Every structure is written in C-alpha cells, then in structure tokens.
Amino acid sequence: MALKTFNPVTPSLRNTVLVDRSDLHKGKPVKALTEGMHSTGGRNHSGKITSRFMGGGHKRRYRLVDFKRKKRDMSATVERLEYDPYRTAFIALVKYEDGELAYILAPQRLKAGDKVIASDQADIKPGNTMPLKNMPVGTIVHNVEIKLGRGGQIARSAGCYAQLIGKDSGYAQIRLSSGEVRLVRAECVATVGAVSNPDNQNINFGKAGRMRWLGFKAHNRGVSMNPVDHPLGGGEGKTSGGRHPVTPWGKPTKGKRTRNNKRTQNLIMRSRHLAKKA
C-alpha cells in the first residue's frame, strides 16, 4: 500500500498523509465473523475514569481474527483484504476447501487468489503457518505463539516481524524488532512473512478531529498541570518536571524499568535495552 498526500485546499489537509486503502474491500465484513462492541470511554463499572484520554469515536464491530490457525492441513484461498478498525494491520478473508470462512492477519505481499495453509510441513511462503522447529533459520515470521496452543501473541501490529535466528534444546531463538532475543518453545507455531501495512508509521493525521474519530481525546501533559493535579505540575514558565518523574499514581516513569516478571525472565536471552547500547 502506498501513502496518500493531499493538496492543501484546507489547513488540516496541508500536512495530512494517510495510507491508500483503495485496494481493500469496500463493503461490510462477514457478519458471522464479527461481534458487537460498546465503547467504555475509559470508565469502569462504577463510571469512574480508569484509562485517561479515551472517549467518542466511531461505532465499530470487532472482527474475530483466527490467531491460532486452528484448521490444519487444509489449504485456503484468500478472498479479499479488509480494513480492521481494531488494529493497525490489514486482515484477509480466507475460504477453506470445505467452504468455511475465517479472518487471518494479512502479511505483506499477500493478495486475493493466493493459497495459504497451516501445517507441520508447509512451503516458506507469506501466510503459511507451521511450527518454528520446521522452519529454516533466518525465516521472517509474525503472529508467533508464546505458549503452545494459545495462538499468536508476538509481532501482530502493522509492519512488525520477528526473525528465527537459531534452534537449540527444544527452543527456538527469535529476534524481535526491538532487538530483544527471546526463547520460544520450538513446537509453537508462527506465520511466515511480515505483517501488512508497514507504512502505518508514516501517516500524519493532520488534525485533532481525525484522532477523535478514532476514540482518542486530547492528551494533557502532566507538566502543564498544577501541582494539585499531577506530580510534574507547577513551576514558573516551561518547567520540565521534577528530578524523579513519576505518574499521577507514584510509579516511576520516563525510562525507569519496572519489569518484575521472574517467571519468564530466563526466556529473554538478550534484553532490548542491551541491544540499544551495542
């Protein structure tokens, strides 16, 4: 997909850059593969705001995407590519040989009419799913499982991918986009290729209203508040916060590492922070 720029016939169009979605399906999704959703506006069951800067936005239906690729050893034909309002990547509607329809994450270079399959032994082609132990080292993958049978959880956003860089002692070593090298059970499955819509990072919404359509309200910085409202608030002029920046709830922020998951710590071979220093 290419990027789309606009002539500055209005002030908000002057810097607007969007993804050209003219090749995607223009109709409604398959209703049987969707669910109704309601917007919380960032409020909990008591009506109190627990997630700030959320609210409004267009009404949306949730697309049921098959992250597990449950139907094995049966090829499917890509019917069309679609926009999904709940994710940055595009999704593909596939039709299996027995007539069943399903949505999957669309990888790059996948188009209508292509064949995809989930199997223990499959060709190394975009959209095919197979266990990591059966993939050659160096393969670019996405939608990687962390726990066997749970479905893909790693590398699902637009343009994301991971690379299989080694296999040893029943584990596969995958390098993530952040530079982190992580161990995953070799029996876990992944899908070949990188996720579609890599140009998502280059878009410029151009106006605040477009963010409101997506359900985002204006984000008020802590340093612009009063001391009673935020730990970073107050001061004369444009002060940049205190010596130990914290969130409104006292958690360290702005670079402070808060990870404390000892259960999976030994699965991280190389931290993403070390990768940045190298």
Q: What percent of the chain has pLDDT over 90?
A: 89
Decide the pairing of beta strands 171-175 and 181-185. Answer: antiparallel
* pLDDT of 275 over the 80 cut: no
Task: Give the pair of three-digit tokens for residue 50.
Answer: 């627990």
Per-residue model confidence as pLDDT tens digits over 111-138:
999 999 999 999 999 999 999 999 999 9
Fold of the domain built from segment(s) 3-200: OB fold (Dihydrolipoamide Acetyltransferase, E2P) (2.40.50)
pTM of the model: 0.92
**What confidence tens digit (pLDDT) does each residue in 69-106 have?**
999 999 999 999 999 999 999 999 999 999 999 999 99
**First-to-last C-alpha distance (Å) of the chain:** 33
When pLDDT is averaged across residues 155-167 and rounded to a whole number, the result is 97
User: What is residue 278's DSSP assignment?
Assistant: -
Secondary structure class of 242 (helix, strand, coil) = coil
Q: What are phi and psi for residue 198, nearest 5 degrees?
A: -65, -20
Nearest by Cα to 222 from 211, 212, 233: 233
Nearest alpha carbon to residue 84 among 144, 152, 123, 33 = 33
- Report the candidate in 192, 196, 195 with the shortest Cα–Cα distance to residue 121: 192
